[in-house]
Structure 1
Amino acid sequence: MSEIEKSFSTEKYVVTHPVAIEQDGWRLDQFVMKCMPTLSRQYLKKKIDKGEVEISGRKSPHKPSVKVHYGERVTITTHNDGMIEDEYWHGKPVPRDQKPGIVFEDEELLVINKPPFMITHPAGKNLFYCATVFFETIYKKTIHSIHRIDRETSGLLLLGKNPKVSQRVALLFEEDKVRKCYFFIAHRRPGAKTFPFTARERMDREENKIPRGMMSVWPEDSEFGKESETHFELILDKGDYVLAMAFPLTGRQHQIRVHAAYNGYPLLGEKLYNGDPGVFMRFKDHLATPEDHDLLQIPRHALHATALKLTYPKDKMNYFIAPLPEDLAIWLEEKLDLKRSQVEEIIKAKVQEFLA
């Protein structure tokens, strides 16, 4: 049986799925839901009705109830209308930076300053606002993702222009030979730890956890979870807010956000780890309340991958630093009366101290 075939551009995503023997006799809408589980049944039924789902050898459009059979191939086309990827804030789509900034580039490697909400490569319902797709459209060739940062997190992301360099640099991440620095803005809760501190709480995913994907956390001496370690340094203390740096020494998913929240510093804009994970579900379902917006203040968590140090190229030690993103810079000036240049100067000094 042939493998799944995919083609991407900034305009459309086309994927063809072969019907497996165990899927023989499935309804078309059931089969498409299995192929694209992150999209709603209603959205996928509309695609079938519009003729954007085709069964090989048959004339489309099809009815959602039509049966598919073993050996057939189903092609699903998704056009870039923006609707399935939009993030909403007070009922309106969040404006996006369409062009990632380039921090460093040579014939093999791209180091970009990823905008918030841009995903590393196509996944789930995020098919177009992707770093790899953006640069593949420019260079007309495959761009390889080397590591990932959360979709809402902005900042440094490394992309490879060929498989060889991608594997070589990815191995540095796997062997913990890359040092990482993050900037964040957080609320300070009563009883929060005093800076500087190192968090070593263990974390992992639990089955059937709601919301799905949320990490659970246990004390450092627990038998549950996986070892995790993040060092935190203060930049500025402004009333109920802190500006700080996080230096992760392990690479667990959501690690900085979990460690910061557990120790009394939930991030500004944090939907998952603010004490009420229902906030995340309400934003996901477009049911966020005015109180939810007031709690978050900004549409995404205030975390920025600001610096990386690694051996590249070959035996040369190098470090890259990304300027603050526009959304965080605006919030800092409007809410705390802090200039971008002032904050970036302090960040740079902390980065140089840590990476020395």
Structure 2
Amino acid sequence: MPRTAWGWLITPEELESWILSQDEHLLVINKPGHVLCHPSKHGPWSSLVGACREYLSAEVLHMPSRLDRETSGVMLLARDHDLGSRLQRAIQNGQVRKSYLAILEGSLDAPIEVDQPLAISTDSVVRLKRAVTPGGQQAHTRFEPLEQSGGYTLTRVRPTTGRLHQIRVHAAHIGHPVAGDKLYGPDETLFLRFIDHGFDEHLQAALPFHRHALHAAALTFELESGPLVFEAPLAQDMADFWSSLLPCPASGVSRMEEP
């Protein structure tokens, strides 16, 4: 991506390489980390939706669900309003199963279910930060450890609700924050520094990875005719990070590729 004064612009060639499948109704993308989903004031090629609209010459493009900027993985973009509405309703009605891969700090030794409500944090200077809060929105996440190495755990994460930052908040709540998380990791001021200075030498020394190590691996729609599954292979930067933690880089790859 070419660099601008504020960040990165997507190129048509890059966008094309992210497309997993497309037809006249639906576009399936494997979004890299650090790509903004929603349109921004910096032009159409500064966000995934804007770039896709330009690439497809499409006036209508609906995103039934979104990913945080630093989260990589599978995203669906509907090319007509009717499909977009139906997909969004399916997600809201719990007819869609989501599966993520995360690299968590520390050793998670057994599966754990987190059923803790979330709300805006009242103890943070970061306005968008969430926290486990009694009386907040219901949120449920299941963490399933797959492999441990180098003080980290490769983990399958299955959220059954879709709250903002849910996985990241719940991971931090159980004492295993997502590796590289600037907001829910060791110090939230790292997030503020990143906004002002980017991923500078200070952040490189404080964090093990340049973004939070979270990847949307699969979306499964439960239909009367059977499950419809959309999958995205693990982003290369996250795969490389996990491989760097392994005593033998070849091991563990098959676990990351499990649905």
Q: After superposition, where does 1:98-113 map in structure 2 within 5 Å?
A: 98-99=14-15, 101-113=18-30
User: Partner of 1:175 in structure 2?
Assistant: 93
Counterpart-to-counterpart distance in 2, 1:102 and 1:287: 28
Once the two structures are TM-superposed, the CA of residue 304 in structure 1 deviates from its matched residue by 0.3
Q: Cα gap change, 1:315/1:201 in structure 2, threshold over 3 Å: closer, same or farther?
A: same
Is the 8 Å Cα contact of residues 44 and 51 (structure 2) preserved in structure 1?
no
Helix, strand or coil for the counterpart of 1:242? strand
> Equivalent pairs: percent with the same residue?
31
| 1:266 alignment partner, one of 169, 177, 185 | 177
Counterpart-to-counterpart distance in 2, 1:251 and 1:81: 32
Q: Cα gap change, 1:284/1:123 in structure 2, threshold over 3 Å: closer, same or farther?
A: same
User: Partner of 1:231 in structure 2?
Assistant: 142
Once the two structures are TM-superposed, the CA of residue 86 in structure 1 deviates from its matched residue by 4.3
Structure 2 residue 95 is matched with structure 1 residue 186: no
- The one-letter code of the counterpart of 1:305 is A
User: Partner of 2:7 in structure 1?
Assistant: 85
> Higher relative contact order by CA 8 Å / sep ≥ 6: 1 or 2?
2
Counterpart-to-counterpart distance in 2, 1:112 and 1:288: 26
Runs of 5+ unmatched residues, structure 1: 1-79, 88-96, 352-356
Q: After superposition, where does 1:39-50 map in structure 2 within 5 Å?
A: none
Counterpart-to-counterpart distance in 2, 1:280 and 1:346: 31
Once the two structures are TM-superposed, the CA of residue 226 in structure 1 deviates from its matched residue by 1.7
Once the two structures are TM-superposed, the CA of residue 135 in structure 1 deviates from its matched residue by 1.9
Helix, strand or coil for the counterpart of 1:265? coil
Coordinate RMSD, CA, aligned: 2.7
Q: Cα gap change, 1:339/1:239 in structure 2, threshold over 3 Å: closer, same or farther?
A: closer
Once the two structures are TM-superposed, the CA of residue 287 in structure 1 deviates from its matched residue by 7.6
Once the two structures are TM-superposed, the CA of residue 156 in structure 1 deviates from its matched residue by 0.5
Deviations 1:7-53 (A, max 9, x none): xxxxxxxxxxxxxxxxxxxxxxxxxxxxxxxxxxxxxxxxxxxxxxx
Once the two structures are TM-superposed, the CA of residue 241 in structure 1 deviates from its matched residue by 0.9
User: Partner of 2:255 in structure 1?
Assistant: 346
Q: Cα gap change, 1:126/1:267 in structure 2, threshold over 3 Å: closer, same or farther?
A: farther
Counterpart-to-counterpart distance in 1, 2:53 and 2:249: 35
How many residues end up aligned between the 2 structures?
254
Counterpart-to-counterpart distance in 1, 2:104 and 2:43: 27
Runs of 5+ unmatched residues, structure 2: none
Q: After superposition, where does 1:112-123 map in structure 2 within 5 Å?
A: 112-123=29-40
Q: Cα gap change, 1:81/1:187 in structure 2, threshold over 3 Å: closer, same or farther?
A: closer
Once the two structures are TM-superposed, the CA of residue 131 in structure 1 deviates from its matched residue by 1.8
- The one-letter code of the counterpart of 2:6 is I
**TM-score, structure 2 length as denominator?**
0.87
- The one-letter code of the counterpart of 1:272 is L
**TM-score, structure 1 length as denominator?**
0.65
- The one-letter code of the counterpart of 1:332 is W
User: Partner of 1:204 in structure 2?
Assistant: 119
Is the 8 Å Cα contact of residues 108 and 153 (structure 2) preserved in structure 1?
no
| 1:323 alignment partner, one of 233, 237, 241 | 233
User: Partner of 1:310 in structure 2?
Assistant: 221
Counterpart-to-counterpart distance in 2, 1:105 and 1:196: 36
Helix, strand or coil for the counterpart of 1:261? helix
Helix, strand or coil for the counterpart of 1:103? strand
Q: Cα gap change, 1:316/1:140 in structure 2, threshold over 3 Å: closer, same or farther?
A: farther
Once the two structures are TM-superposed, the CA of residue 294 in structure 1 deviates from its matched residue by 2.0
Deviations 1:282-338 (A, max 9, x none): 1111187745322212221000000110047x8452112111111112222333255
Is the 8 Å Cα contact of residues 141 and 161 (structure 2) preserved in structure 1?
yes
Once the two structures are TM-superposed, the CA of residue 105 in structure 1 deviates from its matched residue by 2.1
Counterpart-to-counterpart distance in 2, 1:211 and 1:180: 27
